[in-house]
Amino acid sequence: MIKKKTKNILFVDDDKRILYAFKKALEKTEYQMFFADSADNAFLILKNEEIDLAIVDLRMPIVSGYEILESIKNDYPGVFRIALIGFVDEVKILKALSKNLASSYIIKPWSQNDLLGTIDYYFSLYTELKDRNIIEKINSISNLPTIPDIYLKITKAIDEDQDIQKIAELIELDHSISAKVIQIVNSAYFNIKTASISKALIYLGINNIKNIIMSQSIFSSLEDKYAEGLWKHAETTNRIMNLIYKNVLCKTLDEDLQSVGLFHDIGKVVLINDYHNGYFDLCELYFENEDYVLQDLEYEKFGLSHEEVGYYFMKLWGVIEEIPEAALYHHDPFNENVKNKELVSVIHLANHYSKIVLENKVYDHELDMRVFDYLGINQQYFENVLQTAKI
């Protein structure tokens, strides 16, 4: 018996050879494929079939890929959108990503394994969002923080196994990013005194630096008046997280995870970017009524919470899995779906104390006191360490 194919993908490219290559690449999978070599054909298929995922070439004659993606976004918000690009278009893709026209992209030519892996990954993410009933909300966000060109270049250089010197040179080309990396490396926690990017890469590790660049760029997409407080909170949470590992748990936190704290509230940045004052009106409402729960207000107003938004974009932007998990569960560390409970508990604790240290007037959640027991930490002892460390 032939298994019923239920996952529908639409491929749109004016080059029929590319469509054929997709057909060949995926013919043994459970995906049901539809092909369109023009915008008109694409819209006809979208009208008649229940498409889950659309993969659209950005360079199309007459109606461009951007326009096709835009129409899909407006008319079929339940369809997950991926852009198809050539190597030379790598920078152009940023425009499509920042307007949320496409959630991600596939570069031509592709390797068979990469392609299947990528499509499977997007489908599992799509299914998860659909189950949570937030696919349409997420899909219709209009303004996303832009991922800097430098981030894509570094990722590519790492994939190509370039040496540290080459990667350092890439970073140095961007003066404001280099300055930020140096500032963070020299900050109290890392306690490394250097003005050299290549030394920073050696001390902190390439992935750590890559994460710092990404989080910093996301925050700097906000207007200064919003960015400063949020960045301070993220940076302080990250420092407390590292302090807990180093001085309280006396454990070495994996190098790739030393910047997880920077990302925990990234969903707020995305929401502010899209709704501007709308998000602050909501915060005002929250400040005025102590009975309100921030997450409930977020649901009421935007249909999703900052935890979900953060989770989703971190998944899309391909950071290591602990980062989206921490974003999703930082207010709910004992959720049964948490895999890395220790790290999420530490972030939960660090988030709370970051607000105390910075004297923020409101907490967006109660501290779950069970984390002390779970982590085997004495609260008094921890607070003393925090005070001595002068975070």
State yes or no: residue 238 binds Fe ion (CB under 5 A).
no
Pairing type for strands 31-36 and 7-12 reads parallel
CA 367, 214, 227, 291 torsion-angle sign: negative
Cβ distance to Fe ion smaller for residue 104 or 351: 351
Of 358 and 385, the one with the shorter C-beta distance to Fe ion is: 358
Q: Give the nearest distance from C-beta 274 to Fe ion in angstroms.
A: 17
In angstroms, the Cα distances linking 248 to 241, 264, 376 are 10, 21, 10
- How would you write 154-174 as a 3-class SS string? HHHHHHCCCCHHHHHHHHHCC
Site for Fe ion in 290-319 (CB under 5 A): none
Closest to Fe ion by CB, 13 vs 265, is 265
* Number of residues engaging Fe ion in binding (CB under 5 A): 2
Nearest approach, Cβ of residue 264 and Fe ion (Å): 5
Among residues 174 and 265, whose Cβ is nearest to Fe ion?
265
Comparing CB distances to Fe ion, the nearer of 123 and 299 is 299
Segment 84 to 123, residues that bind Fe ion, using CB under 5 A: none
Backbone angles phi, psi at 53, to 5 degrees: -130, 130
- State the alpha helices, DSSP H only, in 64-193: 65-75, 93-98, 112-131, 135-139, 149-159, 164-172, 175-185
Shortest distance in whole angstroms from residue 330 CB to Fe ion: 6
Member of 351, 352, 371, 382 binding Fe ion (CB under 5 A): 351
Q: How far is CA 384 from CA 134, 361, 369, in A?
A: 42, 22, 17
Q: Which C-beta is closer to Fe ion: that of 320 or that of 367?
A: 367
Q: Which distant-in-sequence residues (6+ apart) come within 8 Å of 351 by Cβ? A: 237, 261, 264, 265, 330, 331
Which range touches Fe ion (CB under 5 A), out of 56-64, 107-115, 348-356, 371-379? Answer: 348-356
**Min separation Cβ 195 and Fe ion, Å:** 31
98, 190, 224, 229, 288 from 354: Cα distances, Å = 30, 17, 20, 12, 22
Measured from the CB atom, the residue of 221 and 237 that comes closer to Fe ion is: 237
- C-beta closer to Fe ion: residue 237 or 258: 237
In angstroms, the CA 13 to CA 42 distance is 9
**Binding pattern to Fe ion, positions 257-276, x when CB under 5 A?**
--------x-----------
Minimum CB–partner distance for residue 276 and Fe ion (Å): 19
CA distance 125 to 81: 12
Q: How far is the CB of 306 from Fe ion (least distance, A)?
A: 6
Q: How far is the CB of 279 from Fe ion (least distance, A)?
A: 13
Q: Identify which of 7, 10, 145 has the alpha carbon closest to the alpha carbon of residue 72.
A: 10
Give yes or no for a contact between 92 and 74, defined as CB atoms under 8 angstroms apart.
no
Least distance to Fe ion, CB of residue 260, Å: 12
The stretch among 124-132, 247-255, 343-351, 367-375 that binds Fe ion (CB under 5 A) is: 343-351
Cβ–Cβ < 8 Å for 157, 182: no
In one-letter notation, the amino acid at residue 259 is S
Q: How far apart are CB 208 and Fe ion at their closest, in Å?
A: 20
- Give the per-residue SS3 of 169-190: HHHHCCHHHHHHHHHHHCCCCC
Quick one: which segment of 86-94, 164-172, 248-256, 345-353 binds Fe ion (CB under 5 A)? 345-353
Q: Which is nearer to Fe ion, 86 or 278 (CB)?
A: 278
Residues in contact with Fe ion by CB under 5 A are: 265, 351
